[in-house]
Structure 1
Amino acid sequence: MTAQNASSTSARPWLGIALVLGSATAWSYGGAIQRFIGLTDGWAIVFWRCLFGGLFLLSFMLIRDKAAGTVRLFRAMGWPGVMIAIGFAAVSTCFVLAVSMTPVANVVLFMAAIPLFAALLARVLLGEPITTVTWGAIAAVIIGVAIMVSASIGEGGSMLGLGLAASIPLIFACMTVLTRRYPGIRMTPAASLGCFIASAIAATQAGSFEVGVPDLLLLFAFGALNLGLGMAMYVTGARMIPSALAALLGTAEMILAPVWMVLLHHEIPSVRTMIGGSIVLAALFTYLIGHMRGDAGPRVPTAS
């Protein structure tokens, strides 16, 4: 190995960290963008967002892997990849509809529980052991979520919105277990296909597709720059660092999302939401840091 190659290799972890942090930042402003969109039809927003997101990811693969390589990626997905795509479609739809019904902080803080739900589901379905620290973190998440839900109910929040927000970590947990069972699943084609599936379903439910130029630009940013760019940066960067570190860095999304809402829309979370969210984030940090110390390289899906 030449000195130049050695330098390039040693720099890859820092590039991976930068890309994963970039992906978390890109994902974090999704709710803030949606609040600026004038469309009131949530299904129309899902249609345009997922259409732009799917096209962005497809273009990313065509540039990176060329046409032949992109076709091979889609053909190699198999039924596990199709199931992951359906999961992405469901999550993308639930996110948009939930944000239209409940504060963004509720949605993203529910999402912070994804790794812990995945650990619990992996125990049930795959027989993977759960440490005492993980059990404690799961209990803390349940308490934190209960506090957040009580705050929303007390303020007359939408139960449907809370239900959609709660479904996101459950769906993601199922997707995580599936990728552990089939670690060769390719995430980029699955996410792209999922976007197109969500867009097609939303097309059957939307009342109208008419949208003005300002909203169309916002929808492009919501789909391409929030959903698509975030995924492209994550799948590229996550290959360069341990998956537990990638998950830990990804928590920046949960921290930044409420900040954007406060700065741009003056949407201030309630005291109970902040207390419950703090408990959830503390539990997640404890779990991920313990996971990093105990296992430097847990099984993750192939990021490509």
Structure 2
Amino acid sequence: MHPEAVPTAAHTLPPDPPALPDGSGAAEARRGALLVFGAALVWSFGGALARGLEVTDPWTIIAWRSFFAALFLLGFMLWRDGPAGTIRLFRTMGLPGLAVALCFATASISFVVALGYTSVANILLMQAGVPLMAALLGVVFLREAVDRVTWAAILAVIAGIAVMVSDSFAAQVSFVGDGLALLIAVVFAAATVITRRHAGVRMTPAVCLGVMIGTAVGVGLSAGLRVSAGDFGLLLLFGGFNLGLGMALFATGARMIPSALAALISTMEPVLGPVWVWLIHAEVPAPRTLLGGGVVFLALLGHILWQWRLSRRTALPLPN
């Protein structure tokens, strides 16, 4: 879920700050990398937490999860920016922030609903292709130039997703579930493009507004908000810990390191997520999911490593 970006959100941040030449810059980069890794680790438990719930109504889950995430994020902004700063963040995010909030609300709602139809592995591994989908949307809507390596990675991701969703046509996995998983990746990519076009958009208030929207939608469509004590505890973790804390860690750490490195570290979410579900709930991914997800992950990893190497090469000082 990942969302100031869910692998998926690593590329929705404003431009990276310039690197600092002294030792303090290296220390800050290490701290940022640890925070982003912490976010990916926290996010990776989402599927396992959801699988432990007894409540079957997805709208009840969405209502409580979004509510606890909104409380956490609102508290985080109040602690970090103060009441006046928090109000200013909401007032200045404008229409782009509202668009990002709607994208995130769609993604977080679709994630919970999709869990009722398809495997956690399908959802998370499709999300791994968000950065490359964003590159494709950037070509269409922003007329951004895309190099051959990125095009090759995009084609590989499309091929990997095709292999994954082929289980749907074989009636092994729900077409609705795979469709929602793909929708999550598309709206996250759309949020990436919106933020790239409007670099001043602050993701924390936008995400907080998104989970507020999710709370309203969940309450409106829920069959009832009463849950057991065990489910209440899991929903608290699912919203406050998995979604809220993960976003706060990423929002803080991703500003300290280059976007390519943040994206590389955050790919630990789709890698670890299916592992926790397998270990805790014995949900074994289908062979085509593993094959297609492997293609998606390797394409993404190779592309990010290439971008990181290119950025390091261009950052090297020229010889005298």
TM-score, normalization by structure 2: 0.89
Please say if residues 62 and 112 of structure 2, whose CA atoms lie closer than 8 Å, have aligned partners that are also in contact: yes
Superposed displacement of residue 271, structure 1: 1.4
| Residue 63 (structure 2) aligns with | 47
User: Could you tell me how far apart the structure 2 residues matched to 1:183 and 1:24 are?
Assistant: 23
Which of 161, 170, 184 is the matching residue for 2:200? 184
Which of 258, 269, 294 is the matching residue for 1:242? 258
| Residue 144 (structure 1) aligns with | 160
Instruction: Report whether the alignment pairs 1:231 with 2:247.
Output: yes
SS, match of residue 38 in structure 1: coil
Superposed displacement of residue 213, structure 1: 1.1
Q: Describe the superposition over 1:11-54 as per-residue Cα deviations: whole angstroms up to 9, x where unpaired.
A: 11111000000000111110100000111000110000000001
Please say if residues 165 and 175 of structure 2, whose CA atoms lie closer than 8 Å, have aligned partners that are also in contact: no
User: Could you tell me how far apart the structure 2 residues matched to 1:39 and 1:209 are?
Assistant: 10
Mapping 1:124-203, distance limit 5 Å: 124-203=140-219
Instruction: Report whether the alignment pairs 1:61 with 2:77.
Output: yes
Instruction: Report whether the alignment pairs 1:109 with 2:125.
Output: yes
Q: Describe the superposition over 1:168-207 as per-residue Cα deviations: whole angstroms up to 9, x where unpaired.
A: 1110111101001000100101011100001101111111
User: Could you tell me how far apart the structure 1 residues matched to 2:91 and 2:290 are?
Assistant: 45
User: Could you tell me how far apart the structure 1 residues matched to 2:171 and 2:44 are?
Assistant: 24
| Residue 207 (structure 1) aligns with | 223
Which of 94, 104, 107 is the matching residue for 1:88? 104
User: Could you tell me how far apart the structure 2 residues matched to 1:79 and 1:197 are?
Assistant: 15
Which of 54, 61, 66 is the matching residue for 1:38? 54
User: Could you tell me how far apart the structure 2 residues matched to 1:209 and 1:267 are?
Assistant: 28
**Percentage of identical aligned residues:** 49
SS, match of residue 216 in structure 1: helix
Superposed displacement of residue 7, structure 1: 4.9
Q: Describe the superposition over 1:245-295 as per-residue Cα deviations: whole angstroms up to 9, x where unpaired.
A: 101111000100010011001111111111111100010011111222334
Instruction: Report whether the alignment pairs 1:270 with 2:286.
Output: yes
One-letter amino acid of the structure 2 residue matched with residue 226 of structure 1: N
Which of 232, 237, 241 is the matching residue for 1:221? 237
Aligned length: 291
One-letter amino acid of the structure 2 residue matched with residue 55 of structure 1: L
One-letter amino acid of the structure 1 residue matched with residue 124 of structure 2: V
Q: Describe the superposition over 1:138-164 as per-residue Cα deviations: whole angstroms up to 9, x where unpaired.
A: 111111111111124325321111111
Superposed displacement of residue 123, structure 1: 0.8
Which structure 1 residue ranges, 5 or more long, are not aligned?
1-5, 297-304
SS, match of residue 129 in structure 1: coil
Mapping 1:13-24, distance limit 5 Å: 13-24=29-40
User: Could you tell me how far apart the structure 2 residues matched to 1:10 and 1:294 are?
Assistant: 19
SS, match of residue 65 in structure 2: helix
| Residue 11 (structure 2) aligns with | none
One-letter amino acid of the structure 1 residue matched with residue 120 of structure 2: V
One-letter amino acid of the structure 1 residue matched with residue 222 of structure 2: A
Mapping 1:288-303, distance limit 5 Å: 288-295=304-311
User: Could you tell me how far apart the structure 2 residues matched to 1:8 and 1:283 are?
Assistant: 34
SS, match of residue 207 in structure 1: coil
Q: Describe the superposition over 1:211-232 as per-residue Cα deviations: whole angstroms up to 9, x where unpaired.
A: 1111001000000000000000
User: Could you tell me how far apart the structure 1 residues matched to 2:276 and 2:300 are?
Assistant: 21
| Residue 300 (structure 1) aligns with | none
User: Could you tell me how far apart the structure 2 residues matched to 1:153 and 1:217 are?
Assistant: 37
Which of 270, 288, 302 is the matching residue for 1:286? 302
User: Could you tell me how far apart the structure 2 residues matched to 1:295 and 1:92 are?
Assistant: 32
Which structure 2 residue ranges, 5 or more long, are not aligned?
1-21, 313-320
| Residue 10 (structure 2) aligns with | none
